[in-house]
Amino acid sequence: MNLSRRTVLLAATGAAAGLVPGLSGTAGAATRNLQPYASYWYPDSLPSGTPGTGITWRSLKAWRAENDTDLAFNAAAVPLAARFTPTPANTTARSGQARIQSLVSFGPTSSNPAQGAPTADYYALTHWSYVDELVFWGGSSG
């Protein structure tokens, strides 16, 4: 039998994944059942009808921290660091003269766990000190 390098590596990777706790073949299915999932936020009022299974509709206008059962999952575990003036991006950049607004789409709202995913499929911004405003787009509610 003459196996290719690719076949051997794929077989070894699959076997190794079976030895690691939490990486079984049903891990993907188990992840989909975790709560909470990202909510569908509406600015003022909720639409008519009822949401589908696993979908939560929420009103931004009516939101209160004391009533949010998912607050513990959607709050930072690390306190904010003091803001600092970053090193200029280039020698001609002048402090206070420009603003950076980032429009980001990290993932869809539908079936998206609030804590992310077990894979590295998401963009992780590392230049927060250069961003003045972040517009987060997780999908459309309406």
Print the SS3 string covering the chain.
CCCCHHHHHHHHHHHHHHHCCCCCCCHHHHHHCCCCECCEEECCCCCCCCCCCCCCEEECCCCCHHHCCCHHHCCCCCCCCCCCCCCCCCCCCCCCCCCCEEEECCCCCCCCECCCCCCCCCCCCCCHHHCCEEEECCCCCC
| pLDDT top residue among 98 and 60 | 60
Asked whether residue 84 is assigned to any structural domain, the reply reads: yes
pLDDT score, position 26? 47
Asked whether residue 1 is assigned to any structural domain, the reply reads: no
Q: Is the peptide bond before 36 cis (omega within 30 degrees of 0)?
A: yes
| pLDDT top residue among 71 and 89 | 71
Parent domain of 47: 31-142
Once rounded to an integer, what is the mean pLDDT over residues 19-39? Answer: 54
pLDDT score, position 45? 76
Asked whether residue 113 is assigned to any structural domain, the reply reads: yes
Once rounded to an integer, what is the mean pLDDT over residues 110-129? Answer: 67
Asked whether residue 15 is assigned to any structural domain, the reply reads: no
pLDDT score, position 24? 47
Asked whether residue 19 is assigned to any structural domain, the reply reads: no
pLDDT score, position 56? 75
pLDDT score, position 23? 47
Percent of the chain with pLDDT over 70: 49
| Minimum mean pLDDT range among 18-27, 64-73, 80-89 | 18-27
* 109 pLDDT more than 70: no
Asked whether residue 118 is assigned to any structural domain, the reply reads: yes
Domain count, the chain: 1
Asked whether residue 7 is assigned to any structural domain, the reply reads: no
Asked whether residue 10 is assigned to any structural domain, the reply reads: no
Percent of the chain with pLDDT over 90: 1
